[in-house]
Chain A
Amino acid sequence: MLNSLVLLVGITLMYSTPLIFGAIGGVVSERSGVTNIGIEGMMVIGAVAAASASYFTGNPWLAFLIAGLCSGLVALLHAVASVTFAADQTVSGVAINLLAPGLALFACRRFFDGAAMSPIAPKLPKIFGDSWMAGTVWSNLNVNVTTVIALLLTIATWFVLYRTKWGLRVRAVGEHPAAADTLGIDVYKVRYICVILSGVFAGFGGASMTIAIISQFTQTAISGHGFIAMAAVIFGKWTPFGAYGACLLFGATQALTVLLGGGVAPIPSQILAMLPYAMTIIVLILFVGKSVAPKADGVPYVKGSR
């Protein structure tokens, strides 16, 4: 029983970490009023950048930062379209989701002689070092360092959004950009920064998959994680801790699937695999109810328009 519980916690934290990064990125962008459907694409870029950089430099920490930088650059595209050109943000996000995986695979094949996956690269450390309690069930609690970073990032985002002048500005821009503008807040600048940050965080999420959980980039390393993260943002009602909780819940049902899949219950594995997704819908119906987006979310701001 205890063993199962420890295993459950360990797997939950492992599964949820990349989602948390993506979801916090989504929260930051959407609170400033820019819908970000492109999280998935940005995570893929982060994933390939991290694995490649870690392989070539041998330094996973540097690779982690490079992943954030690369995804931030992709997010810049989304920012230019949705802030400067007042583009339809959904369309622009979908474009990023097409462009980024194409770019990622193209780069991967270019770097590694046409292979759609990278070689094994150095990984980020675990929090208690690699040999802690090895072989016992407790080693499951020796989580990746990215799990801790994700938690710290969530707390930091909450603090900035709700306890600083800067956060108030972001929220004001997301709720009523025209009012914020009249108070001298540079709406465009705030949105640019938030969208780029969301890309950086999503890049970290991709990196936490390819240089922490697994140790290489593959075509399916990021498959739908960005979309789940996006759902977690809405599920968590656009708050950092809400999104964090939504990701944990999702990770926990994934972990449950893994545990039950070990022959404990006589359920076909395919039906078990539906559990996290079905559970999300059920929880939403039963407990969460209506979610209200930031008022200006998805609406381009054009100076001087009413």
Chain B
Amino acid sequence: MSKLEKFLRGRFAAALVAVLVGFVVAAVVLAAAGYNPIGSFAALFQGALGKPKYIANVIIKATPILLTGVGVAFAFQTGLFNIGAEGQYIFATILSTIVGVKLNLPAVIQVPLVVCSGVLGGAALGAFIGFLKARFGIHEVITSIMTNWIMLYLNNFVVSTDTFHKANSTAALPINPSSYTMILPNWKKSEAGKAFLSNIPWLREVLLKTDANFGFIIAIAVAVFAGYLLSRTKLGYELRAVGYNRDAARFSGINVDRSIVLCMLISGSFCGLAGALNITGISPHTITTLAAQEGYGFNGLSVAFIAGCSTVGCIPASLLFAGLIYGGMTVQQVMGAPSDIINIMIGTIVFFIALPGVTPLLADMVAKRRKSAEEVRVNKDGTPLPEKEV
């Protein structure tokens, strides 16, 4: 098997082809609607990668969807469809905000407390969904969808209460600054910090003009940890066994009900972490009234599927996704083309990820062509094939 062939049979090639097709389809739609595709894509790349500030923002935007993506991918690998990532995310933002507003302790204690409350919230909601499935046999998709909406209204309720409402706004009170997880929030605004940063323009831009925070580093660690948990530990083995064949798993002595609850609990805690880090790391550091689902959970689904449900694969997938969404806004500003084109593009990418066998088909073609090329060379030389020589 040639290197090219091996590459084409891999998962990365499938994703690459899907992305290419996504761009082609978007180009066709743009051209059909009378916009210049080349100019639009130039604007897209400019908007996502043009300045250090933009790149930082892409990473910041990738953080929550990386974590919800890992949550969804984790559950999917164990046979559960966590479409409730959205609700778990929202619940975490609510709890983190409540704790962050009510408590004001030194950062060393405050940050872990605020983050943990969000993680616990997501985990609890996930476990609740898992429990309903294990105990009553209620499909996780129904309870997930219902809890997504319940959490949306709970969010709006908390924002509206006297205790948390910020006057003359649609937001709740922001959390106390001791809970912030931005990189060096105080130093970068101090005189010494400003003086130091003035020598390094790109760092100055990233630190002072964006909410650069520790979230993405934590998210990467979580993605790697989740992959390790699934593929290298006894627990992960049990969870996957339940996903492959519930009856066989039960027969081999695995407590299936416990596995389902545990899996949703872990998945929910990842989604919860996404919410918590968004509250501690990004302004306005609070929850606001929601008219519709924000999409962190649903985008997590896309990220997980672009990554082929590999938790580590979610890292590049989330960056791609965030880059497209963030850069897409520039497409609208520069070219006037509706930024909805990005959703069409992402939808196409996910659609082609779903189609197995496109890149293996290419691999077959490569293999075939190589064989025929070898034959042609032999014939051109005029020497007969070894078999015929005998």
Contact = CB atoms under 8 A, between A and B. Distances in A.
Interface of A: 77, 81, 85-88, 90-92, 94-103, 105-106, 109-110, 114, 220, 223-224, 227-228, 230-231, 234-235, 268, 270-271, 273-274, 277-278, 280-281, 284-285, 288-291
Interface in B326-345: 336, 338, 340-345
B343 A95 contact: no
B340 A109 contact: yes
A273 B139 CA distance: 23
A284 B139 CA distance: 10
A272 to B, nearest CB: 9
B87 to A, nearest CB: 10
A96 B291 contact: no
Contacts of A290: 136-138
Which of the listed residues B153, B298, B336, B348 has the most CB atoms from chain A within 10 Å of its own CB? B153
Nearest to B81: A90
A91 B353 contact: yes
B153 A273 contact: yes
Contacts of A77: 351
Nearest to A292: B137
Interface in B146-162: 146-150, 153-154, 156-157, 160
A270 B160 contact: yes
Closest 9 CB pairs of A and B: A99-B347, A102-B343, A290-B137, A98-B347, A95-B351, A270-B157, A91-B354, A95-B350, A102-B344
A228 B83 CA distance: 12
Contact of B145 (A95, A96, A228): A228
10 contacts: A77-B351, A88-B356, A96-B351, A99-B348, A110-B338, A235-B142, A270-B156, A274-B149, A285-B138, A290-B137
Range, interface on chain B: 35 or more
Contacts of B149: 224, 274, 277
Given A103-B344, A235-B142, A281 B132 contact: yes
B338 A231 contact: no
A284 B344 contact: no
Given A77-B351, A87-B355, A270-B160, A230 B291 contact: no
Contacts of A91: 305, 350, 353-354
B340 A106 contact: yes
Contacts of B139: 234, 291
Nearest to A88: B354
A234 B142 contact: yes
Contacts, number: 144
Nearest to A226: B145
Interface in B301-330: 301-302, 305
A109 B146 contact: no
Interface of B: 29, 33, 81, 83, 132, 136-139, 141-143, 145-150, 153-154, 156-157, 160, 291-293, 298, 301-302, 305, 336, 338, 340-348, 350-351, 353-357
Contacts of B157: 268, 270-271
Contacts of A88: 354, 356
Given A268-B157, A291-B139, 6 more contacts: A98-B347, A110-B338, A224-B145, A224-B149, A285-B132, A290-B136
A28 to B, nearest CB: 18
Contact of B344 (A99, A220, A235): A99
Contacts of A98: 302, 343, 346-347, 350
A277 B347 contact: no
B154 A274 contact: yes
A106 B150 contact: no
B143 A102 contact: no
Contacts of A223: 292-293
Contacts of B160: 268, 270
Given A106-B338, A110-B338, A87 B356 contact: yes
Contacts of B346: 98, 102
Nearest to A109: B338
Contacts of A110: 33, 338
A115 B350 CA distance: 27
Contacts of B293: 223-224
A97 B346 CA distance: 11
Contact of B150 (A81, A103, A235, A277): A277
Given A105-B340, A274-B153, A94 B356 contact: no
Contacts of A278: 146, 150
Given A105-B338, A290-B136, A92 B351 contact: yes
Contacts of B132: 281, 284-285
A90 B358 CA distance: 18
A285 B134 CA distance: 12
A96 B149 CA distance: 21
B291 A220 contact: yes
A278 B150 CA distance: 7
Contact of B141 (A85, A109, A231, A277): A231
Nearest to B30: A106
Nearest to A290: B137
Contact of B354 (A92, A106, A270): A92
B141 to A, nearest CB: 7
B146 A102 contact: no
B142 A280 contact: yes
A108 to B, nearest CB: 9
A94 B342 CA distance: 15
Which of the listed residues A220, A234, A284 has the most CB atoms from chain B within 10 Å of its own CB? A284
A94 B150 contact: no
Contacts of B33: 106, 110
A281 B151 CA distance: 14
A290 B133 CA distance: 9
B81 A227 contact: no
